[in-house]
Amino acid sequence: MMIEKNDTFGKALLDYHQYPGDQQLITWTSLTDEDPVPISYFFRTFNQMPLLEQEAMEIAHGKVLDIGCGAGPHSLFLQNERNFSVTGLDNSPSAVKVASERGLFYTIQQSIFDFHQDNYDTILLLMNGLGICGNLVRLQLLLKKLKSLLHPKGQVLLDSSDLIYLFDETPEGEKIIPANHYYGELEYGLRYKNINQTFPWLYIDYGLLSYIASNIGFETKMIIEGENCDYLARLTREH
């Protein structure tokens, strides 16, 4: 997860890293109520990861870029357990500090949109990492950026969710969704102690992701579907 401005997320990670306890991060969206998340969750081990993330850890390979690395649970697993060269990228200075102090060798504090480095074999955007683009227009910019960073035979591994299940239906069974924007474009909120932050965030259904990605020159494959309309997808360059 990559958070700008107040760095609420990063401050929560740093606080837990320095003084681990039962701290919680409160999250909400324009579609959902407040939900407390134990900050310890962002420090999870492989065995504590959801199945989608475990699968991503298993199929990652080569030189890895972990976008929105946070405290580094995925990066550290791939570095320490699979001996991969991993770069953790996050826009949060506090998150990068935590990941580095936890032992991640390569960390960069920067927005992916400003990032220019060598090509990677695997690019990770987990915990709905592509949400950082905020809307469908910027999703195209993000995918173009990812393509420019990807080795010709590399892969992008990302997870997201289809939020259609959150909407009510008409008596005829049709979903009642907003007409003025895509239903996965929403406002995401965070609160830690007395710090609040909101920002645009994107969740995208697999079909629309595949369509947009194909226009950028990606082939998309569903790797695994979760139990709550979530999924793990792999993007590769079209041949």
Query: How does residue 73 score in pLDDT terms, banded at 50, 70 and 90?
Result: very high
Identify the band that residue 2 occupies on the pLDDT scale cut at 50, 70 and 90: very low
Quick check: 59 and 71 in contact, CB under 8 A? no
User: Is the whole-model pTM more than 0.85?
Assistant: yes
Give the pLDDT score at 42: 98
Q: Is the pLDDT of residue 65 over 50?
A: yes
Q: Is 169 helix (H, G, I), strand (E, B) or coil?
A: strand
CATH number of 8-165+173-237: 3.40.50.150
pLDDT of residue 5: 53
Rounded Cα distance, 24 and 171, in Å: 40
Residues in contact with 138: Cβ distance below 8 Å, sequence separation at least 6, in sequence order = none
| Strand-pair category, 230-237 with 150-161 | antiparallel
Nearest CA-CA partner of 69 in 38, 48, 46, 100: 100
Please tell me the distance from the alpha carbon of residue 206 to that of residue 65, in angstroms, as a whole number: 22
pLDDT above 80 for 239:
no
Do 70 and 9 meet the contact criterion of CB atoms below 8 Å apart? yes
The answer to whether 99 and 75 have CB atoms below 8 angstroms apart is yes
Summarize the confidence of residues 142-146 as an average pLDDT: 97
Cα distance between the two ends of the chain: 31
SS3 36: strand
Round to whole Å and give the CA distance between 126 and 136. Answer: 18
Helix (H, G, I), strand (E, B) or coil at 124: strand
Amino acid at 30: S
Q: Structural domain boundaries of the chain?
A: 8-165+173-237
Give the span between the Cα atoms of 160 and 231, in whole angstroms: 6
pLDDT digits (tens, 9 = 90+) for 166-188: 887 777 777 777 878 899 999 99
Contacts with 180 (C-beta within 8 Å, 6 or more apart), sequence order: none
Residue with the two structure tokens 């949109």: 113
Q: How far is CA 57 from CA 34, 87, 233, in A?
A: 30, 15, 13
With a cut of 60, say whether residue 225 has pLDDT above it: yes
Q: From CA 35, how far away is CA 47, in angstroms rounded?
A: 23
Q: What is the pLDDT of residues 3-60, one digit of tens each?
A: 445 799 999 999 999 999 999 999 999 999 999 999 999 999 999 999 999 999 999 9
